[in-house]
C-alpha cells in the first residue's frame, strides 16, 4: 500500500503542478481551466470540512452533469471524505433509502431534482447539510442547514488554509461509493479505493483508448454511473484532456448540437443510444470530429456496430465493465474489432470462465465469467452476504455467462441470474413485479428481458388479471409503474395472459416466459 495517494490530486492538482493550469479541463454550462478547477475543488473541500465532515464521512451527490458536480466529487476526495454520486432517476422514496443506507451527512443536489431530495430528506436522519446548485424550493427538516452552491463554495474559500489542502489519503483509503443493484434487488454501495481510480486510467484509458491530452471526451452515460464517471472525470483529467459535460437528458438532437459545437474526439455511448442515433435524421457527418466511440452497459449487437460505421464513419469499441470493477475490463481494440464479441481482456486484468464447480472450461464452452484486477471494489457497504457471493478472494463474480473462441475473443451469452440490463442499467424483475402486484387488478406477474428489434433487452411484463378487471390497459399499467419507481425500471410492454407457466409444484418458470415472448409467441393460453 502506498504511503500517500489522493485521486483528486492525481486528476487535478498534478496537472497544475505539471504546467497544464491554463488548459481547459471541463466545458459545461461554464468552462473551467485546470487551475480554476483546482481552486474550486479546494474551496469545496474546505466547505465540506468546515461543515464538520471527517475522514470517511459520506457526501451524497444528486446532481446533473456539470462543473458543480465535477467539483463536488473531486472536492470530497480532496477532503478525504467519500463521494457518493447516485442516480438522478430515483424517486424520493428510493433516494431516501439510499441516503439512509449510506449514512451521508451532506447532500449536494441540482435544482432539477429538488422534489425528490425534499422527500428523501424526511427519510435520512443523518443528513445535517444540504447544498443546492440553483434556484429551487428546497425544504429541509429542522436541524438541517441549507446552502446555495455559490455560498457553500465561498464559505470554503474563506476557510482556514489547512481545511482546503489535500488530505493525506492512501491507496486503500475510501474515495468513491457507487450504488448498484448488481445481482440482487435493493441497490448496494460498491466501495472503491482512491487507487482504483488510478488503475482504470492506466489500463483501459491509456492502453485501450490511447487517450491523449488533446482529446475531448463526451459521454452519454452520466457521472453517477461507473461507466460515466470514468468517461467524464477520470480518463480526461488523468492526461490533461477536456471533458464535455451535458447537464440535460441526452437525445440525438441534443447530442448533435453539443458535438457540433464542442468537437469531441472520443464519444462514449451505450447500445440503446447508438440505436437511437441510427433511427434519427442526423446528418451522416455529425461525428466527423470523433476518432473513436466506445460502448458498454450491455452487449452491442453486430448489426448496430456495422450500421453505425457505415453511416457515421466511426468505429465503436464494445466492452464490458461493472460498478464493482469501476470501469471496463474486457474490450475490443481500435485495431482489432470483432463484431458481436466483447473483445479480449484489458491489460491489467485477468479473466477466467468456469463451470458450475468453479473449474476453468475450455475455449468454446460457456461458463461464468470471473475477473480480477486492481480496480475491483473492496466489497459492498453493510451487505455481508452479497459481498461473499460476488467477491471471492481476488476474483469478482460478474454474473455473466461468456464463451471464449479460439482467437481469444469473449462473447456474452446473457446473465447467470434473472436480472435485466435495460439501456445499460440493471433492473430487478422482483422489484418491478412487486410494484405491479400493488395494482388491485393484478393477481400474478412475471417480468423478463426480451430483445427489441435492435437486439437490445427491454423489460416486458406478463400479467394475470383478476376476474372483474378486463378494462385495465397496457398504458395504465406502464403509468402505474412509472408513478411508483424510476422510469427506466418500468416495463416497455405488458402482455396479458390467463396464466403463467409453472412447475408441477407451482414455481414460476421464468425461463419459459422469456423463451416464449422472445420467440414472438404468446404464453400458453395467453390472450391480449
Cell (9 digits) for 92:
424520493
Per-residue model confidence (pLDDT) at position 503: 58
Please say if the pLDDT value at position 183 is more than 70: no
Cβ-based neighbours of 146, under 8 Å, separated by 6 or more: 130, 131, 132, 138, 140
The C-alpha cell that represents 22 in the structure block = 491554463
Q: What is the mean pLDDT of the chain?
A: 92
Count of beta carbons in the 10 Å neighbourhood of residue 64: 24
Nearest partner of 500 among 484, 511, 491, judged by Cα: 511
CA trace torsion 193, 194, 196, 200 (10° rounding) = 160
Res 268 pLDDT > 60: yes
Q: Are 5 and 170 in contact (CB under 8 A)?
A: yes
Q: What is the pLDDT of residue 300?
A: 87
On the CB side of 46, how many CA atoms lie within 13 Å of its CA?
Answer: 21
Q: Tally Cβ neighbours within 10 Å of residue 447.
A: 27
Q: In a 10 Å sphere around its CB, with 0-12 CB exposed, 13-18 middle and 19+ buried, how is residue 450 labelled?
A: buried
CA torsion angle 370 374 375 380 (round to 10): 70
User: In the CATH scheme, what is the homologous superfamily, with its name and number, of domain 421-518?
Assistant: ANL, C-terminal domain (3.30.300.30)
In the predicted structure, residue 504 carries a pLDDT above the cut 60: no
Q: So what's the pLDDT on residue 141?
A: 96
Convert the pLDDT of each residue in 443-491 to its tens digit.
Answer: 888 899 998 888 888 999 999 898 666 689 999 999 999 999 898 889 9
What is the DSSP secondary-structure string of 172-220? Answer: TSEEEEEEE-TTSSS-EEEEEEHHHHHHHIIIIIIIII---TT-EEEES
Q: Supply the pLDDT for residue 521.
A: 56
Handedness of CA 339, 360, 182, 107 (dihedral sign): negative
Cell output for 481: 409503474
State how far the Cα of 267 lies from the Cα of 29, in Å rounded to an integer.
19
The burial of 373, by beta-carbon neighbours within 10 Å (0-12 exposed, 13-18 middle, 19 or more buried), is given as buried
For 293, the grid coordinates are 466511440
**135 exposed, middle or buried (CB, 10 Å; 0-12, 13-18, 19+)?**
exposed
Q: Which residue has the higher pLDDT, 452 or 150?
A: 150
Q: Which cell numbers hold the place of 261?
A: 459545437
Distance CA(163)–CA(369), nearest Å, equals 44
- pLDDT value, residue 2: 59
139 Cβ contact partners less than 8 Å away, ≥ 6 residues apart: 118, 121
Q: Which grid cell sits at 433?
A: 413485479
Q: 486 CB contacts (<8 Å, ≥6 apart)?
A: 87, 89, 90, 91, 94
| pTM recorded for the entire structure | 0.85
Q: Cell numbers of 51, please?
A: 461543515
Give yes or no for residue 42 having a pLDDT over 50. yes
- Assign domain 7-194 to its CATH architecture: 3-Layer(aba) Sandwich (3.40)
Please check whether the two domains, 7-194 and 421-518, share a CATH topology: no
- pLDDT tens digits, residue range 184-224? 568 999 999 999 999 999 999 999 999 999 999 999 999 99
Cβ atoms of 189 and 102 closer than 8 Å: yes
- Domain boundary assignment for the chain: 7-194, 421-518
User: 174 with 197: CB under 8 angstroms?
Assistant: no
pLDDT recorded at residue 522: 56
CA-CA distance, 274 to 295, in Å (whole number)? 9
- pLDDT of 419 strictly over 90: no
361 vs 443 pLDDT, higher one? 361
Per-residue pLDDT, 526: 37
Least confident of 123-132, 347-356, 405-414: 405-414
pLDDT tens-digit profile of 74-102? Answer: 999 999 999 999 999 999 999 999 999 99
SS3 category, 257: helix
Give the C-alpha separation, 174 to 170, whole Å.
Answer: 9
C-alpha cell at 299: 452487449
Read off φ and ψ for residue 160, nearest 5 degrees. -60, 140
Amino acid at each position: 500500500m502506498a504511503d500517500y495517494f489522493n485521486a483528486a490530486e492525481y486528476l487535478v492538482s498534478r496537472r497544475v503542478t505539471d504546467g497544464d493550469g491554463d488548459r481547459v479541463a471541463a466545458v459545461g454550462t461554464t468552462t473551467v481551466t485546470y487551475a480554476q478547477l483546482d481552486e474550486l475543488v479546494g474551496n469545496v473541500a474546505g466547505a465540506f470540512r468546515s461543515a464538520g465532515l471527517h475522514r470517511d464521512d459520506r457526501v451524497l451527490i444528486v446532481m446533473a452533469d456539470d462543473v458543480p458536480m465535477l467539483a463536488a466529487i473531486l472536492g470530497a476526495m480532496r477532503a478525504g471524505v467519500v463521494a457518493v454520486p447516485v442516480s438522478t432517476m430515483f424517486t424520493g422514496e428510493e433516494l431516501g433509502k439510499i441516503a439512509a443506507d449510506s449514512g451521508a451527512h451532506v447532500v449536494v443536489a441540482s435544482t432539477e431534482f429538488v422534489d425528490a431530495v425534499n422527500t428523501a430528506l424526511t427519510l435520512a436522519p443523518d443528513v445535517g447539510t444540504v447544498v443546492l446548485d440553483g434556484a429551487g424550493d428546497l425544504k429541509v427538516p429542522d436541524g438541517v442547514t441549507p446552502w446555495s452552491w455559490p455560498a457553500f463554495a465561498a464559505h470554503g474559500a474563506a476557510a482556514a488554509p489547512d481545511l482546503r489542502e489535500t488530505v493525506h489519503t492512501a491507496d486503500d483509503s475510501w474515495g468513491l461509493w457507487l450504488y448498484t443493484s448488481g445481482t440482487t434487488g435493493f441497490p448496494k454501495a460498491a466501495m472503491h479505493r482512491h487507487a482504483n481510480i488510478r488503475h482504470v486510467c492506466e489500463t483501459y484509458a491509456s492502453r485501450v483508448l490511447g487517450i491523449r491530452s488533446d482529446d475531448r471526451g463526451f459521454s452519454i452515460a452520466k457521472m453517477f454511473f461507473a461507466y460515466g464517471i470514468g468517461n467524464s472525470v477520470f480518463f480526461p483529467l488523468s492526461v490533461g484532456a477536456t471533458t464535455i459535460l451535458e447537464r440535460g437528458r441526452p437525445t440525438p438532437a441534443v447530442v448533435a448540437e453539443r458535438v457540433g459545437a464542442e468537437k469531441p474526439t472520443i464519444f462514449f455511448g451505450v447500445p440503446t443510444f447508438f440505436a437511437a442515433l441510427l433511427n434519427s435524421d442526423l446528418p451522416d457527418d455529425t461525428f466527423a470530429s470523433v476518432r473513436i466511440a466506445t460502448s458498454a452497459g450491455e452487449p452491442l449487437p453486430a448489426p448496430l456496430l456495422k450500421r453505425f460505421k457505415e453511416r457515421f464513419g466511426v468505429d465503436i469499441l464494445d466492452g464490458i465493465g461493472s460498478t464493482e470493477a469501476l470501469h471496463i475490463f474486457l474490450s475490443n481494440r481500435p485495431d482489432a474489432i470483432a463484431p458481436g464479441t466483447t473483445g479480449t481482456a484489458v491489460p491489467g486484468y485477468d479473466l477466467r470462465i468456469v463451470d458450475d464447480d468453479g473449474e476453468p472450461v475450455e475455449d468454446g464452452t460457456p461458463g461464468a465469467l470471473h475477473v480480477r484486477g486492481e480496480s475491483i471494489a473492496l466489497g459492498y457497504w453493510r451487505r455481508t452476504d452479497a459481498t461473499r457471493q460476488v467477491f471471492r478472494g481476488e476474483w469478482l463474480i460478474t454474473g455473466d455467462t461468456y464463451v471464449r473462441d479460439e482467437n481469444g475473443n469473449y462473447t456474452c451469452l446473457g446473465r447467470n441470474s434473472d436480472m435485466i440490463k435495460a439501456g445499460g442499467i440493471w433492473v430487478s424483475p422482483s422489484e418491478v413485479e412487486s410494484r405491479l402486484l400493488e395494482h388491485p387488478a393484478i393477481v400474478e406477474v412475471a417480468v423478463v428481458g426480451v430483445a427489441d428489434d435492435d437486439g437490445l433487452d427491454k423489460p416486458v411484463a406478463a400479467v394475470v388479471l383478476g376476474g372483474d378487471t378486463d378494462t385495465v390497459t397496457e398504458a395504465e399499467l406502464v403509468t402505474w409503474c412509472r408513478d411508483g419507481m424510476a422510469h427506466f425500471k418500468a416495463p416497455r410492454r405488458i402482455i396479458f395472459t390467463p396464466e403463467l407457466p409453472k412447475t408441477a409444484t407451482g414455481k414460476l418458470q421464468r425461463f419459459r416466459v422469456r423463451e416464449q415472448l422472445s420467440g414472438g409467441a404468446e404464453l400458453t393460453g395467453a390472450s391480449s
